[in-house]
Amino acid sequence: MLAEHRALTASGTEADGSAVVRVLSYNIRSLRDDQEALARVIRACAPDLVLIQEAPRFFRWRKAAERLARASGLVYVTGGATAAGPMILSSLRAHVERTQDVLLPRTPGLHQRGFATAVVRFGAVRLGVLSCHLSLADEERPTQAGLLLEALERLDVPCAVAGGDLNERPDGRSYQRLTGTLTDAWAAQPWGGEYTSTPRQPHQRIDAVFTTDGVEVLGCGVPHGLPGVREADLRAATDHLPVLAALRIPARGA
């Protein structure tokens, strides 16, 4: 646990050329709650990448996204309205190579869904990144999980990370489809808390971080007890709890 805690409070480039990267997945409910508390939580987690769900999507959404990025000490990478809600922020440590927002096939009467994707560099290591928010409808989620796997393949990099609100527990069909190919970071190396919904009465894990083969999970979970993360802020920031993962990306990601 000591090594995991250290990884979750510091990141950098290793002597062997690998990179330790902190990834935060967070549903922010369109900034409808305490935005100052939200920014404090994100800053305390000191992430290199933030995979946002329910980013602002309507009037002046870009300005709202940029304000959140500045308040959190980060920069906007991609997503928001252009991905129907998922968004990616990063620290200045990440060098962004390319981005693409993906809109998924829409079922009449249901919300539009999409992915925010990017390829970034940490030193010489390249990493594919995807933020997702799967459907509330049982019939849509398995197909969207398959499209997520295809989107990761199209990034055409040796290593990738995906995170988001799956609207489903680990025993669900869509979740199982993902874990048939990807590593569920919490299951691989649990750290902190497990349940992400709801902040006041957490009882289910519907938010997750996944990795492709070759990525070493150093620790993953809700950052209860992380220095600077206050329980009052977690409850006030939004209607989900965040998932923080520390990952070691091998040099073959270059």
pLDDT tens-place string over residues 177-193: 999 999 999 999 999 99
Cβ contacts of 201 within 8 Å, gap of 6 or more: none
> What is the per-residue burial (b if ≥16 Cβ within 10 Å, else e) of 28-52?
bebbeebbebbbbbbebbbbbbbbb
| Domain 2-253, classified CATH 3.60.15.10, yes or no | no
Reduce the DSSP state of residue 167 to 3 states and report it.
Answer: coil
**How far is Cα 208 from Cα 114, in angstroms, rounded to an integer?**
17
Helix ranges restricted to H, 87-211? 141-154, 173-179, 185-188
Determine whether 17 is exposed, middle or buried from the number of CB atoms within 10 Å of its CB (0-12, 13-18, 19+).
Answer: middle
Domain ranges of the chain: 2-253
Residue 12: pLDDT band (50, 70, 90) is confident
State what percent of residues in the chain have pLDDT above 70: 94
Token digits of residue 116: 């925010």
| Closest to 87 (Cα-Cα) out of 107, 73, 68, 106 | 68
CB 207, CB 174: distance < 8 Å: no
The residue type at 30:
S
Which residue(s) pair with 101 in the sheet? 116
Residue 237: pLDDT band (50, 70, 90) is very high
Q: 127: how many CB neighbours lie within 10 A of its CB?
A: 28
* pTM for the structure as a whole: 0.95
For residue range 49-89, what is the model confidence (pLDDT) as tens digits? 999 999 999 999 999 999 999 999 999 999 999 999 999 99
Helix ranges restricted to H, the chain? 2-7, 35-45, 61-71, 141-154, 173-179, 185-188, 231-237
Cα–Cα–Cα angle for 168, 171, 174, nearest 5°?
55
Token digits of residue 114: 């999409």
State what percent of residues in the chain have pLDDT above 90: 91
According to the model, what pLDDT value does residue 14 have?
77
